[in-house]
Structure 1
Amino acid sequence: MPSLRKSLFTAVLVSATMLSPLAASAETISGALAKAYQYNSSLNSARAGVRVTDEGVAIAKSGYRPVVTGSADIDYSSSHLNGTNSSVRLTTGNFGVQIDQTLFDGFQTRNNVAAAEAQVRASVESLRNTEEGILFSAAQAYMNVIRDRQVAVLTEQNLQFLTETARAARSRFEVGEGTRTDVAQADASRAAAVGVASNEHPAILATQHLVDAAAFSVKSAEGALLPQLSASAGVSSAYRNTSPLPGVGSQDGTTNSASVGATLTIPIYSGGRTSAIVRQNKESLSQARIQVDVSRDQVRQAVTAAWTEYTAAQQQLTANRQVIEAAKLALNGVIEERNVGQRTTLDVLNAQATVITAQINQAGYEHDVVVASYAILQATGRLSVDRLGLQVAKYKPEEHYNAVKDKWYGLRTPDGR
């Protein structure tokens, strides 16, 4: 199956950035896409969402680690004995440290960690899908501006023609044979593009990772039906001080103690709650599997639509070139006939209006070709910073993930917050 080559992306950028002299000083499409990638608020929000998901791995791994708690208390009481002048004052205090460690939880922690890791992979693919959507929207908006500028220039030329009937300067993209977008290769087909999308599109990959996460969640829920074993150890100190009563012995002093133990819990019946959770997670797994098929259908539809729009735009572009040439020939003929008195100025203006209309249509068709080519790249999952060669620092979600996945403690985020 033919693959999309780098020349495809070069051709897309060339065809989109060969602007008219009036727009030559404007920002290039690569610069616009780089700014969208760096500053778009929706994209930055999606990146923050991935960082939130990353912490789920550290949370799941906490099930492997001990839980250490400290405790302390102090009490003071005073009692008066009726019929005497004596009173009793009692001060007691306790403090200690307890360590609890789960030894076996029915493989729940292991499956929770695997599910969290799958969630991270899914979120990364979802981020990539969001990036492609933002880049396509930016490219589309950029091309809309360029098209509208060309229409404005052509309209201005039409107004100038009221006094300059001999001038027919035009402003257009100049999308010629050498710069026409070549989607895939010369022999590329819609079926090949669909195959690429099925294997590489981040929307499909994200749903596949969610299937993995759902499968591990089922195993984790089933683990609650298995015996649970935990161990504990602790040290404590108790202090007691009593004002002595006459003739009564005192038990004051400090008592130090240590303990160690293990607890085995065997689930027997939980009111049906655990079973219901297992069934619920199995249904979620089934839904996740169906969602993979939904994503494939959506991607296939997007590729087909983009390819159809691209093919139609190319055909319209080619046909409209002939319309322009014919309109120009007709305009020249009308001008010659007017010069010899066989046509009026109104006839010339009507012929010029036909040329301008065809040129405006050409600007629209050229816009459609470029936008459709970007749509194909997005639909096949290949509209990325790397493939477009944008001059911008690439966001790497794995850096945050690696920084937090094994952290045992610390309240600060990797960026210092």
Structure 2
Amino acid sequence: MFVLRYCVCVSVGLLSTLSLNTELMAQTVSSGPGKSEAAKLLLPSDNSLKSQPRVSDIKQMKESSDSSKTKKKSATVVKKRQTSAPRILSQTTTPPSLESSDAYSETILEQLPPNNLNPNGNPLLFPTKPENVETTINQPVTLEEVIAFALQNNRELQEARIAVEESKALLVEQRAALYPSLQIDSSLNRDFTERQTGDFAQGIIESVARSRQTTGIFNAVLQYNIYTGGERDAQIKRAEREIRSRQLELERVSEQVRFEATDNYYLLQNADAQVAIAQADVENASQTLRDAQLLEQAGLGTRFDVLRAEGDLAAANEELTRAIAQQRIARRRLAETLSVGQHVQLVAADEITESGNWSLSLEETIVRAYKNRAELEQQLVQREIAQQDRRIAMGGQDGIIPRLDFLAQYGFDDDLDNSLGALVNYRFETRLTWRLFDGGRAFAGARAAERRMDQANIQFADARNQIRFEVEDAYYQLIANRENISSTRQNVATREEALRLARLRFQAGVGTQTDVINAQRDLSQARGNFLQAIIQYNQSLNALQRAVSNYPDDRLFETR
């Protein structure tokens, strides 16, 4: 009996020492009071993971904390959010009122220090050596900086801007038909002729007659199309509508680039969180393995417990390896959206926090989306373009509407070798052209344009329905993820308390190592779910902003 009590006392003391060391380690590396609630769940990387690639933004999950403090802190946060005025949007996700996407980019980028994030100015650059694509710059970026770089460097956005400039040049080309055309032709000729007489069969040349003539010719033609059957006005209006269509496409691409850059940034934050969670699992599994080995050495554990702990540690290392791979992929995906330089690797600098709130009701959001989305106006513009195509088909060069042209010509022909003077001529011509029959070609072109108008009407209805679906989908996801934040936050506190009790039971000899392992896994999963809920909430808010577009200022981007 005495031996049994001695062994129990030794085991309890040993386990208490292990638990005390673990608690001290957690308290030493816990986050400061200035961090966000999600950041307080993360700890710096341990030196035992130096063999893994360096990740400056990786933090570890806290192993244990006082449940009463956590509940009190959660209640304080909830109370503070209820009493404070709701924010419409976070400054990190939506910029203030902007006159153009370029202005927003320049405003943010002016605040940044000189860096090598911008890509090479040569779009045809083709790296041929490994060192040309080696990532040597590890650049932390905030969400505002990501949006600014995307609006400045994204290739698709640059292509859309060039398309707008091209359409403006085409409008100038069509407006040239409003003015008469003036054409000048002139020539100066010097003719030399020679005639020989004689018996050419015998090679006798009797005489040679030579003559020279110098003539100057000048013609000036003024031509103006008085009436073109409506083709000229239709071409000009079509070019104007084409400019508007490409401006709307530029706005759509700008909103999409902003959405993709923001979403990819959240995905990178999620990948960072998964790495941190995987690291915490590795630390928990390592601690469990050490406990099992010490218990086996003290004769209080079995070899089976050690083998099981080793298996759990191997599985945690595998999960960490996969998380690091996904993190690298997320970084490269964000770099591709921003079109940064070949040597740059981006790192998320912002903490995982809620980006903001949405103050509009579902019905107000749907109406606002109908008002703001460029896709709807694009279909209306395409309908107007089809209307102008119909006018062009009826009154163009191959149309059946009469055309009236005016021509004025002045010219002279002067033989400079004589003194007779120049031969001057004037010509004025008014010409009426009317194609009476073209085999139905003009009417066929008009009917084709009408069918394109019908297609634009149908596509408008489809876009309207799609926009409503996108708004409702993002809105419902936003509500669900907002509720999940509260429930997962409470779940983290519950799992922390469960882990604390499981360790106390194990130390007292009334619990098992399996209970501790299961409690650790539940806590790690709860922390991961909490961070996922915040990130998914931000993604839903970003998707809702994209579905509405140009919120909260309700202004389309003004292109330069």
Band the TM-score falls in, shorter-chain normalisation: 0.7 to 0.9
Distance 1:147 1:34 in 2: 21
Contact 1:200–1:380 (8 Å) recurs in 2: yes
Equivalence map 1:148-297=2 (5 Å): 148-162=271-285, 175=353, 181-185=356-360, 188-189=361-362, 191-224=363-396, 225-240=400-415, 253-297=421-465
One-letter amino acid of the counterpart of residue 59, structure 1: E
Deviates more, 1:293-302 or 1:362-371: 293-302
Contact 2:505–2:511 (8 Å) recurs in 1: yes
Contact 1:197–1:381 (8 Å) recurs in 2: yes
One-letter amino acid of the counterpart of residue 157, structure 1: A
| Partner SS state of residue 72, structure 1 | strand
Deviates more, 1:278-287 or 1:85-94: 85-94
Cα distance change of structure 1 residues 112 and 369 upon mapping to structure 2, 3 Å threshold: same
Task: Say yes or no: does 1:329 pair with 2:461.
Answer: no
Equivalence map 1:18-97=2 (5 Å): 26-75=140-189, 76=191, 78=193, 80=195, 82=197, 85-97=208-220
2:238 corresponds in structure 1 to 115
1:247 corresponds in structure 2 to none
Cα distance change of structure 1 residues 275 and 124 upon mapping to structure 2, 3 Å threshold: same
2:15 corresponds in structure 1 to none
1:131-176 deviations in Å (ceiling 9; x for gaps): 11101100011001111112212222232335668xxxxxx9665x
Following superposition, the deviation at residue 268 of structure 1 comes to 1.4
Gaps of 5+ in 2: 1-84, 95-138, 199-206, 289-349
Match of 1:99 among 222, 234, 254: 222
Contact 1:302–1:379 (8 Å) recurs in 2: yes
One-letter amino acid of the counterpart of residue 54, structure 1: K
Distance 2:485 2:218 in 1: 84
Following superposition, the deviation at residue 184 of structure 1 comes to 3.4
1:185-229 deviations in Å (ceiling 9; x for gaps): 3xx12x332221112211111111121222122223323432211
One-letter amino acid of the counterpart of residue 373, structure 1: L
Contact 1:240–1:254 (8 Å) recurs in 2: yes
Q: Compare relative contact order (CA 8 Å, sep 6+) and give the higher one, 1 or 2.
A: 1
Give the alignment's Cα RMSD to 1 decimal.
3.0
Cα distance change of structure 1 residues 271 and 13 upon mapping to structure 2, 3 Å threshold: closer
Distance 2:508 2:558 in 1: 71
Distance 1:50 1:92 in 2: 50
Following superposition, the deviation at residue 64 of structure 1 comes to 0.7
2:72 corresponds in structure 1 to none
Match of 2:545 among 377, 381, 387: 377
Following superposition, the deviation at residue 42 of structure 1 comes to 0.9
One-letter amino acid of the counterpart of residue 58, structure 1: V
Distance 1:77 1:360 in 2: 98
Distance 1:79 1:93 in 2: 21
Following superposition, the deviation at residue 346 of structure 1 comes to 4.6
Following superposition, the deviation at residue 366 of structure 1 comes to 1.4
1:347-368 deviations in Å (ceiling 9; x for gaps): 3233112111121122222111
Match of 1:301 among 451, 469, 472: 469
Task: Say yes or no: does 1:9 pair with 2:89.
Answer: yes
1:279-302 deviations in Å (ceiling 9; x for gaps): 222222222222211221221222
Distance 1:335 1:116 in 2: 75
Contact 2:143–2:265 (8 Å) recurs in 1: yes
| Partner SS state of residue 239, structure 1 | strand
Following superposition, the deviation at residue 53 of structure 1 comes to 1.4
| Partner SS state of residue 495, structure 2 | helix
Structure number, greater radius of gyration = 2
Following superposition, the deviation at residue 252 of structure 1 comes to 5.9
Tell me how many residue pairs correspond in the alignment: 359
| Partner SS state of residue 89, structure 2 | helix
| Partner SS state of residue 208, structure 2 | coil
Contact 1:151–1:363 (8 Å) recurs in 2: no
2:324 corresponds in structure 1 to none
Following superposition, the deviation at residue 11 of structure 1 comes to 6.9
Distance 2:277 2:554 in 1: 34
Distance 1:82 1:88 in 2: 15
Cα distance change of structure 1 residues 333 and 124 upon mapping to structure 2, 3 Å threshold: same
Cα distance change of structure 1 residues 151 and 181 upon mapping to structure 2, 3 Å threshold: same
Deviates more, 1:223-232 or 1:204-213: 223-232
Contact 2:229–2:395 (8 Å) recurs in 1: yes
Contact 1:36–1:134 (8 Å) recurs in 2: yes
Distance 1:209 1:286 in 2: 13
Following superposition, the deviation at residue 126 of structure 1 comes to 1.4
Cα distance change of structure 1 residues 319 and 105 upon mapping to structure 2, 3 Å threshold: same
| Partner SS state of residue 521, structure 2 | helix
Following superposition, the deviation at residue 377 of structure 1 comes to 0.9
Following superposition, the deviation at residue 257 of structure 1 comes to 2.9
Cα distance change of structure 1 residues 73 and 271 upon mapping to structure 2, 3 Å threshold: farther
Contact 1:173–1:366 (8 Å) recurs in 2: no
Deviates more, 1:205-214 or 1:268-277: 268-277
Distance 2:272 2:506 in 1: 32
